[in-house]
């Protein structure tokens, strides 16, 4: 094979695997003479990437001592493999900040060129991480338009490629068909609960969300609830919580698009919901120690991406001790009943869509990587 180029991709969660698979697909289309291996999941495997390690367990249980130790050993294995066996022309880090920033130091020492797609949200908290990026990453491929100024000031090479969700998000599904297929009542409003994709998140939030749903049910009869079952979680994960609501697995985007309102664990799902124009609240509760540390290191006071991008309080946030069933239930009822409240959110969602690029993020990233490969 003529002038074979090698790229190694490192992801740590299902969303990163999905975005990375898009980059890999586009890169292989641009350059058939490229060999790609990765730490990844089913999406990367599906587009023909050979997995060095499956990412499935990397983000499953939160920041426990076992996870930290496993990550340290995995990082050592990866770098040893890259230095002595695979010898890539370029490593692409995708999201998963804690692990990828740590491994970037080892990659730098090994003399391996490193790009970072979907970098950590340094602008939101722990700004000292910018120094780690500056020292160890050759180029950052940013997804928010405001990130470039920060990297420019720090002297970090960067290119704005746009947010992958803009082009990757599936079309809205037909609401009637979805309701009939899942045995839902077309005459009732649908509130979907997204308790998170990690068992760690469920432990702290799901009971609160179930109590919220019970309060709403008690106050009105025109609402039904469905729980989103993340595809990476086991089939029996909700049994321990005695959840009696219908669960739907593997149809997150469809559920986001047909719901009347959403109860969400804080995360990227809020941005997806905004692009589907579905009103929501977001909540977070976790170990007190970690939250206290977060308060010390954060650079902004907002948690929801919609609020961060717009700089406005568009989506109600219920964090830690403020994440109480009665408060959340009152806000959901307000969204369902008050057209003005709903329209204020929808107006904010329109603003988010305008602020984010209409570029095809994974195509742009693949082009930049291919240009770099052609130089060597």
Q: Let me know if 357 is exposed, middle or buried by CB neighbors in 10 A (0-12, 13-18, 19+).
A: middle
Rounded (10°) CA dihedral 273, 222, 319, 321: -170
| Together in a domain, 156 and 187 | no
Residue 93 lies in a domain: yes
**Is 260 in the same domain as 299?**
yes
pLDDT in tens, 5-27: 999 999 998 889 999 999 999 99
- The number of beta carbons lying within 10 Å of the beta carbon of residue 338 is 11
Say whether both 148 and 184 belong to one domain: no
Per the CB < 8 A criterion, the answer to whether 161 and 142 are in contact is yes
Residue 234 pLDDT exceeds 80? no
With respect to residue 198, please indicate whether it lies within any of the assigned structural domains.
Answer: yes
Q: What angle do CA 172, 174, 177 make, to 5 degrees?
A: 145
Contact status, residue 130 vs residue 107, Cβ threshold 8 Å = no
- Say if residue 195 is exposed, middle or buried (CB neighbours under 10 Å; 0-12, 13-18, 19+): buried
- Look at the chain and report how many structural domains it folds into: 2
My answer on whether 123 and 142 are in the same domain is: yes
What is the rounded distance in angstroms from the CA atom of residue 126 to the CA atom of residue 332?
32
Environment class of residue 35 by beta-carbon count within 10 Å: exposed (0-12), middle (13-18) or buried (19+)? middle
Helix (H, G, I), strand (E, B) or coil at 144: coil
CATH number at residue 97: 3.40.50.2000
Using only C-alpha atoms, the chain has a radius of gyration, in whole angstroms, of 21
| Arithmetic mean of pLDDT, 26-37 | 96
180 with 324, same domain: the answer is yes
Pairing of strands 50-54, 223-229: unpaired
Q: What is the pLDDT of residue 366?
A: 98
Q: What is the pLDDT of residues 255-264, one digit of tens each?
A: 999 999 999 9
Q: Are residues 188 and 145 in the same domain?
A: no
Asked whether residue 195 is domain-assigned, the answer is yes
The reply to whether 170 falls in a domain is no
Same domain for 311 and 371:
no
Strand partners, 39: 10, 53
Q: Which pLDDT tens digit goes with each residue over 288-339? A: 555 555 555 455 567 788 998 888 999 999 988 889 999 999 999 999 999 9
* 156 and 185 together in one domain: no
Does residue 185 sit within a domain?
yes
Q: Considering the entire predicted model, what is its pTM? A: 0.78
Q: What's residue 299's pLDDT?
A: 52
For residue 100, what are the domain limits? Answer: 5-163+357-375
Residue 345 and residue 370 in one domain = no
pLDDT band at 166 (very low <50, low <70, confident <90, very high): confident
């Amino acid at each position: 094979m003529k002038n074979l180029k090698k790229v190694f991709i490192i992801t740590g969660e299902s969303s990163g695997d999905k975005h990375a698979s898009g980059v890999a697909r586009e890169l292989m289309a641009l350059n058939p003479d490229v060999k790609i291996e990765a730490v990844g999941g089913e999406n990367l495997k599906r587009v023909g990437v050979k997995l060095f390690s499956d990412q499935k367990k990397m983000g499953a249980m939160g920041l426990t001592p076992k996870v930290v130790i496993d990550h340290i050993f995995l990082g050592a294995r990866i770098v040893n493999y890259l230095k002595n066996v695979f010898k890539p022309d370029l490593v692409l880090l995708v999201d998963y900040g804690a692990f990828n920033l740590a491994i970037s130091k080892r990659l730098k020492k090994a003399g391996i060129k490193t790009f970072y797609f979907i970098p950590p949200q340094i602008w939101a908290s722990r700004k000292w991480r910018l120094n780690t990026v500056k020292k160890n990453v050759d180029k950052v491929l940013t997804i928010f338009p405001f990130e470039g100024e920060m990297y420019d000031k720090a002297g970090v090479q960067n290119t704005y490629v746009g947010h992958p969700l803009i082009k990757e998000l599936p079309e809205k599904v037909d609401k009637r068909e979805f309701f009939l297929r899942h045995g839902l009542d077309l005459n009732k409003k649908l509130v979907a609960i997204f308790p998170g994709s990690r068992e760690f998140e469920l432990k702290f939030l799901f009971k609160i969300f179930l109590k919220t749903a019970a309060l709403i049910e008690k106050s009105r009869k025109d609402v039904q609830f469905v729980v989103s079952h993340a595809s990476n979680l086991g089939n029996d994960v909700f049994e321990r919580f005695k959840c009696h609501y219908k669960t739907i697995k593997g149809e997150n985007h469809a559920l986001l698009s047909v719901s009347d309102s959403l109860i969400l664990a804080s995360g990227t799902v809020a941005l997806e919901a905004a692009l589907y124009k579905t009103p929501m609240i977001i909540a977070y509760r976790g170990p007190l120690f970690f939250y206290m540390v977060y308060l010390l290191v954060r650079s902004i006071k907002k948690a929801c991406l919609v609020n961060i991008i717009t700089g406005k309080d568009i989506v109600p946030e219920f964090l830690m001790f403020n994440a109480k069933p009665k408060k959340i239930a009152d806000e959901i009822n307000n969204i369902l009943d008050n057209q003005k409240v709903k329209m204020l959110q929808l107006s904010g969602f329109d603003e988010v869509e305008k602020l984010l690029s209409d570029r095809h993020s994974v195509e742009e990233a693949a082009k930049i990587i291919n240009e770099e490969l052609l130089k060597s």
